[in-house]
Structure 1
Amino acid sequence: MTRIVGEVMTREVVEAYRGTPFKELVRLLDRHRISGLPVVDHDDKVVGVISGTDLIRRQATRATDGRARRFRLPWPGRSTRRADAVAGATTAAELMSSPAITVHPEQRVGDAARVMERHGVERLPVVDEEDRLIGIATRRDLLRVFLRTDDEIRRDVLDEVVGRGLGLAADSVAVSVRDGVVTLEGGPEQRVDAASAIWLTYRIDGVIGVVNRLNVRVEAGPFSPSKGPTGPGRENP
């Protein structure tokens, strides 16, 4: 089973508005023990994201700006206009990172994780088709897929990879799983598209590695990656 964002996201979201003042933002983060929150407009559409880093940056900027002005020192690598804007920020609209990086509930957890990593963010607001906030996905939410048991992963590999993906009988490929690492084994009498088998297995939630012991000639298939090793031994995603 491949899980989607809507299945793991947190539905009760702590949010702020454009006009939420600095101190209230700090209170929200502290009271709910969170490191960030989305900023929405009057239609609940996400317009930005506030993190503890944003708030600390504002305070650090004010302190540094004050010393720079006192001693008439220039801002290294930063314009005076930008420094003034950050130091003088008092509301969520002035402090937030915008536009927000968002995801939709029907997206795969793996895809959301890649978006999170690509943009270097800790949380992703989840929005509906009209960009209204319906939840939030944090790193912790996405990591829950790796709590799946080895038996659950093995059943999915047999069903979705061997059966549905490759169109083979369940006993055509021997599948074993230990601590999330899947081992695929098959005899020379069975023609198996090894590259596709490996690629599809990595798409199963909870899989952290694949060991290829398919003793057959590797055939290029519709799911084959464009490059990368496909020989015996542990494969990279």
Structure 2
Amino acid sequence: MTRSVVTVSPDLGYKQIADLLVDMGVSAVPVVGDDRTVIGVVSEADLLHKVECNGADVHAGLFERRRSRRARQKAAGETARELMTSPAVTVPDGVPLTSAAQLMERHDVKRLPVLGADGGLVGIVARRDLLRRYLRTDDEIRADVIDGVLLGVLWLDPVEVDVTVADGHVTLSGSVDRRSTAQIAARLTRALDGVVGVTEDMRWGFDDTTLRHRYALDV
């Protein structure tokens, strides 16, 4: 997440918010209260309602669709409190990246204010932040597989396992003693930052997974 977050107060005016977005190069800002509690988010889309509805009658008909009615209400807004989308979709600071990504997808938002243990704003995570874990070179990923997985966890001799990485896709080949070792190596590799896929093509001398399956059936 980005810890230095640009925020606005509920009473900040439309023009000041627009200027802030342009000057800071951001597309949205959290609206926070005095205790750093996030009460909403104002985005470029919220501000554009005024442009879209400029000159239109803000007193819409009774049968106007809810979305259109909400857009007209925002078009008439002049402060962050009137313009913001509320309640804001937020996440605690300990949430895994996958959960944050799923939350963005579910609510169709591009950013999530991050809350600390006291419920106050501590940062913001955007879609581009979630993609940073994949912005690693193939050499960096290969080094992580060798040092972190093969040597660090499984205590395997890197000479026995060949690790190749192409555009983030890792291929594991060579030989290990047990089939479960090959499966664990692939699973741990798949969890590394920057890995987009894993092909496990290792030979093994003993299939211990069959024994575990038989034991489970006997129990």
By the TM > 0.5 criterion, same fold? yes
Question: What is the CA deviation profile of residues 48-101 of structure 1, one whole-angstrom value per residue up to 9, with x for unaligned ones?
Answer: 1111011112432454445x86xx7963x3388646533332221222122222
Please name the residue that 2:130 is paired with.
142
Aligned length: 207
Question: What is the CA deviation profile of residues 142-192 of structure 1, one whole-angstrom value per residue up to 9, with x for unaligned ones?
Answer: 322222222321232234444566x45243543221221111224375323
Please name the residue that 2:165 is paired with.
177
Structure 1 segment 71-220 matched on structure 2, within 5 A: 75=64, 77-78=65-66, 82=70, 85-162=73-150, 167-171=154-158, 173-187=161-175, 189-192=177-180, 196-215=184-203, 219=209
Counterpart-to-counterpart distance in 1, 2:152 and 2:167 = 24
Percent identity between the aligned chains? 42
- Structure 1 residue runs without a partner (length 5+): 1-8, 221-237
- AA paired with 1:137? V
Contact 1:22–1:92 (Cα < 8 Å) also in 2? yes
Secondary structure, aligned partner of 1:17? coil
Counterpart-to-counterpart distance in 1, 2:149 and 2:104 = 26
- Structure 2 residue runs without a partner (length 5+): 211-219
Select which of 25, 42, 61 maps to 1:33: 25
Counterpart-to-counterpart distance in 2, 1:91 and 1:111 = 32
Larger radius of gyration: 2
Please name the residue that 2:217 is paired with.
none
Alignment partner of 1:46 is 2:33: no
Counterpart-to-counterpart distance in 2, 1:218 and 1:90 = 68
Counterpart-to-counterpart distance in 2, 1:102 and 1:161 = 34
Counterpart-to-counterpart distance in 2, 1:192 and 1:125 = 41
Counterpart-to-counterpart distance in 2, 1:26 and 1:57 = 13
Q: State the TM-score, normalizing by the size of structure 1.
A: 0.71
Higher strand share: 2
Return 36-45 or 85-94, whichever deviates more: 85-94
Counterpart-to-counterpart distance in 2, 1:49 and 1:170 = 52
Q: State the TM-score, normalizing by the size of structure 2.
A: 0.76
